[in-house]
A = this chain, B = another copy of it.
Amino acid sequence: MYVTFPSEIAVKASTAPLASASSKTAEARLKRGAYLYFEGDEVEWLYQVTSGVLRLTKLLADGRRQVIAFGYPGDIVGFPANDLHHTDCEALTEVRLQPFRRSHLESGDGDPALHCALLKAALREISAMQDHFMMLGRKSATEKLASFLCVLSERVGEDLGAYRQINLPMSRADIADFLGLTTETVSRTFTQLRKSKIIAIDNIHTIIIQRPTALMSLAEDGTD
A residues with CB within 8 A of B: 9-10, 13, 58, 60-62, 64-66, 68, 79-82, 86-87, 105-108, 112, 116, 119, 122-134, 136-138, 177, 179-180, 220-221
On whether the beta carbons of A79 and B123 are closer than 8 Å, the reply is yes
Cβ distance A130 to chain B, nearest Cβ, rounded Å? 5
Chain B residues with CB below 8 A from A177, complex form:
137
On whether the beta carbons of B108 and A138 are closer than 8 Å, the reply is no
On whether the beta carbons of A180 and B126 are closer than 8 Å, the reply is no
CA distance A58 to B134 in the complex (A): 8
On whether the beta carbons of B123 and A80 are closer than 8 Å, the reply is yes
Chain B residues with CB below 8 A from A65, complex form:
138
On whether the beta carbons of A133 and B68 are closer than 8 Å, the reply is yes
Copy number in the complex reads 2
Set B81, B82, B134: member contacting A66, Cβ < 8 A = B134
Chain B residues with CB below 8 A from A68, complex form:
130, 133
Chain B, Cβ-Cβ closest to A87: B130
Cβ distance A206 to chain B, nearest Cβ, rounded Å? 26
Set B108, B124, B136: member contacting A133, Cβ < 8 A = B136
Chain B residues with CB below 8 A from A82, complex form:
9-10, 13, 124, 127
Cβ distance A147 to chain B, nearest Cβ, rounded Å? 11
Chain B, Cβ-Cβ closest to A39: B130
Chain B, Cβ-Cβ closest to A68: B130
On whether the beta carbons of B180 and A86 are closer than 8 Å, the reply is no
On whether the beta carbons of B134 and A60 are closer than 8 Å, the reply is yes
CA distance A188 to B57 in the complex (A): 32
CA distance A3 to B207 in the complex (A): 35
Inter-chain pairs besides A61-B221, A106-B119, 10 sampled, C-beta below 8 Å: A13-B82, A60-B221, A81-B123, A86-B131, A105-B119, A107-B112, A122-B122, A129-B130, A132-B133, A133-B136
